[in-house]
């Protein structure tokens, strides 16, 4: 018997293809096939949610759970590539994207992801080679200067054939009894956080709004999905009622500023980090679209959020 999906040879009594995991239509009822698709979709949706929250290991485990049953599922391969790409593990991301493209050659999205990762790897390799060339030039220049200095002093020794005693010159250096004052050590400057021009534009627009109750701000833009993830750091602890007030008072105008700064962004994820249990932790996370944000008011704003997550200490619903 031949699998109609991947062409692999399988036994006649098989209900699923052992190569691609596809159900055999003549053996599965419509209800069974729908249940299987729902199960796979649920696992992959949970894995993608873990990825957005930065729970990399949990997201990877969900994808592996799908691949153990359906090893040729292209969506699971592509999502694993996204998980590694978000962590900057470009070599591993490239491998999973290549597998996704092999399993689904018609997927233009996976092909674009693979091309982007390969461009990053090529750029990194090019910069590494340029640094090696630069350090080689510096080392060569240092050796040349050192050799020139050596020749200069050697020439002075050969020319100084007349020896005479010089008078002792007293310097104004402190006496041995005077304790020396150590010079302060300058700490190296902290390297600035690098932003893309798109992230910098959104960040600057929010800062110009002079919103109250914000200690820090971080903007991350995912250009593939046109999503902006905005982390807001608050110095004030929250309870359930205070987090709702903060979102309406600060979160709504903040997202409106971000939406006005970049018309290309269609999805926003707002994350609020605040002191909880004596340490900064994620207090709230929620998703909202541009269309929903354009209709939001102070009365409806909280109800428009999707995929809401609250810290366990904030056990009351918004």
Q: What is the DSSP string of 197-221?
A: HHHHHHHHHHHHT--TT-SEEEEEE
Rounded Cα gap, residues 88 and 194, in angstroms: 15
pLDDT number for residue 83: 95
pLDDT over 70 at 204, yes or no: yes
Residue-wise pLDDT tens digits, 40-73: 888 899 999 999 999 999 999 999 999 998 888 9
Is the pLDDT higher at 194 or at 16? 194
Name the H helices within the chain: 30-52, 56-69, 74-86, 90-103, 108-159, 197-208, 240-246, 252-261, 290-294
Rounded Cα gap, residues 134 and 113, in angstroms: 32
Is the pLDDT higher at 188 or at 67? 67
pLDDT over 50 at 251, yes or no: yes
Q: Which two tokens stand for residue 141?
A: 């220049």
Over residues 129-158, the mean pLDDT reads 81
pLDDT number for residue 95: 94
pLDDT number for residue 318: 63
Single out the residue of 279, 291, 285, 292 nearest to residue 307, CA to CA: 285
Q: Which of 72-86, 172-186, 246-260, 277-291 has the lowest mean pLDDT?
A: 172-186
Is the pLDDT higher at 139 or at 97? 97
Rounded Cα gap, residues 262 and 256, in angstroms: 10
**Mean per-residue pLDDT of the chain:** 80
Residue-wise pLDDT tens digits, 3-34: 655 556 666 655 555 555 555 554 445 566 67
Over residues 172-191, the mean pLDDT reads 49
Rounded Cα gap, residues 122 and 125, in angstroms: 5
Other CB atoms within a 10 A radius of the CB of residue 34 amount to 11
pLDDT number for residue 174: 47
Q: Which of 179-188, 219-228, 237-246 has the lowest mean pLDDT?
A: 179-188
Tell me which range, 161-170, 177-186, 242-251, is most confidently predicted by mean pLDDT: 242-251
DSSP for 254-269 reads: HHHHHHHH-TT--EEE
Sign (positive or negative) of CA dihedral 19, 20, 26, 27: positive
pLDDT number for residue 190: 47
Domains belonging to the chain, first-starting first, are: 1-134 (1.25.40.10), 197-310 (3.30.300)
- Residue 173, C-beta contacts closer than 8 angstroms, at least 6 positions apart: none
pLDDT over 70 at 167, yes or no: no
Is residue 292 classed as helix, strand or coil in its secondary structure? helix
Q: Which two tokens stand for residue 191?
A: 């390297």
Over residues 78-94, the mean pLDDT reads 93
- In percent, the amount of the chain with pLDDT more than 70 equals 75
pLDDT over 50 at 168, yes or no: no
252 contacts 296 by C-beta, under 8 angstroms: yes
- Integer-rounded Cα Rg, in Å, for the chain is 31
Label residue 143 by pLDDT band (50, 70, 90): confident
pLDDT over 90 at 194, yes or no: no
Residue-wise pLDDT tens digits, 264-273: 999 999 999 9
pLDDT number for residue 162: 42
Q: Which two tokens stand for residue 278?
A: 């004596």
Phi-psi region for residue 147, left (φ > 0), alpha (ψ -120 to 50) or beta? alpha
Q: What is the distance of C-alpha 272 from the center of its chain?
A: 17
């Amino acid at each position: 018997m031949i699998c109609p999906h991947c062409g692999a040879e399988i036994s006649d009594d098989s209900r699923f293809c052992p190569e691609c995991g596809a159900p055999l239509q003549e053996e599965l009822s419509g209800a069974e096939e729908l249940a299987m698709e729902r199960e796979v979709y649920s696992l992959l949706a949970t894995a993608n949610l873990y990825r957005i929250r930065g729970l990399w290991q949990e997201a990877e485990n969900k994808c592996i759970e799908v691949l153990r049953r359906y090893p040729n599922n292209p969506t699971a391969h592509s999502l694993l590539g996204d998980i590694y790409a978000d962590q900057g593990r470009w070599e591993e991301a490239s491998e999973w994207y290549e597998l996704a493209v092999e399993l689904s050659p018609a997927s233009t999205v996976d092909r674009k992801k693979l091309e982007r990762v390969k461009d990053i790897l090529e750029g990194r390799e090019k910069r590494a080679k340029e640094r090696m060339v630069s350090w080689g030039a510096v080392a060569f220049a240092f050796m040349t200067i050192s050799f020139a200095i050596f020749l200069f002093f050697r020439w002075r020794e050969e020319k100084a054939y007349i020896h005479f005693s010089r008078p002792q010159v007293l310097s104004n250096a402190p006496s041995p009894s005077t304790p020396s004052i150590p010079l302060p050590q300058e700490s190296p400057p902290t390297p600035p956080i690098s932003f893309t021009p798109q992230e910098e534009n959104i960040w600057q627009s929010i800062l110009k709004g002079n919103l109250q109750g914000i200690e820090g701000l971080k903007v991350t833009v995912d250009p593939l999905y046109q999503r902006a993830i905005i982390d807001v750091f608050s110095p004030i602890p929250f309870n359930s009622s205070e987090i709702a007030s903060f979102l309406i008072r600060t979160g709504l105008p903040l997202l409106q500023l971000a939406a006005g700064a970049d018309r290309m962004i269609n999805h926003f994820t707002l994350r609020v980090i605040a002191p909880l249990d004596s340490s900064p932790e994620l207090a709230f996370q929620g998703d909202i679209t541009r269309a929903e944000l354009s209709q939001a008011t102070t009365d409806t704003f909280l109800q428009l959020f999707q995929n809401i997550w609250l810290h366990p200490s904030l056990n009351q619903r918004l």
